[in-house]
Structures are given as structure tokens and as C-alpha cells.
Structure 1
């Protein structure tokens, strides 16, 4: 689905890098638990889709943090 270039998930300006990365780490922990559950369970559909969408959230957070760090470096 095209959102017209507007990111669905992003880091809000003013949120410190450490907090954003801690949130990404917590989401990755949930993803790891879901994928382990999916690998050992016969009913993997729900866990797999949950992990997929949470993975997209983590990627968005990390991409946003990286972009902010590069902007800060370029303006220094």
C-alpha cells in the first residue's frame, strides 16, 4: 500500500537515539520469540505475520535513527 511517501513508522523528533534503539531492541526480542514459536508450532500463520510487521517497525526505527545521525554528522 502506497502512503504517498509518508512513513507509517518513524522516530518522533526529540526522542533520544538510545530510547529509539531500546524500543527497536524490545521489538526484536518479541520477533525472536514469535519466530521461535512459529518454528515449533503447527499453527504458524499468526505468529509469522506478527513477526513480519514488527520487523517492518524495527527497520523503520533503525532507518530513522540512521538518517538522523547522518544529518547531524553532515551539519556538524
Structure 2
């Protein structure tokens, strides 16, 4: 049996665009194990699900919706970066 591949994030995905040039404020750190990064993404998605449920029941609290939006942006960046790491591993760049 072959050893499992140890694949890390590459640090390419960004999130939280700001200013008139849509410059990203944050970046996923390179070198984090993809397994741990996906675990973090799952935890963030759980928070998003709870926030959107609460926000859907309370039309007066837009802060919940915005919090879910920003957390969703973070999750997307983590998953995109994991996908980049997997693609590089498949191409033999690891």
C-alpha cells in the first residue's frame, strides 16, 4: 500500500476585497495541511448555517446576514486554496 499524499494549502486564495481596486485584504496561509484547512472550512460553514437560519427568522438583524456573507467568503478562499493544492499535487508539483 502506498503512503497517503500529504498536501498543503498553497497560499494563493484571497478574500475580503477592499478599496476602489478590489485589493484583497487577507490571504489563506500556505503550508497548512489540506485536511486541517477543510476541517476549518467545515466549522466556518456550521457558523454560516446557524447565522443564516437565525437571520432568516429575524428580518430586523442584517448583521447576521453580513456576518454569514463574510464567513462564506473565508470558506470559499480556504476551499479554493485546497483545490489549488490538490491540482499541484496531481501535476507533481508537491
* Category of TM-score, reference length = shorter chain: 0.7 to 0.9
Matches for 1:19-58 after TM superposition, within 5 Å: 19-58=36-75
CA RMSD of aligned residues (A): 1.6
Larger radius of gyration: 2
Distance 2:71 2:38 in 1: 14
Answer yes or no: is 1:61 the counterpart of 2:44. no
Gaps of 5+ in 1: none
Q: Which has the higher helix share?
A: 1
Q: Which has the higher strand share?
A: 2
CA apart distance, 1:43: 2.0
TM-score, length-normalised on structure 2? 0.70
* 1:14 aligned to which of 18, 21, 31: 31
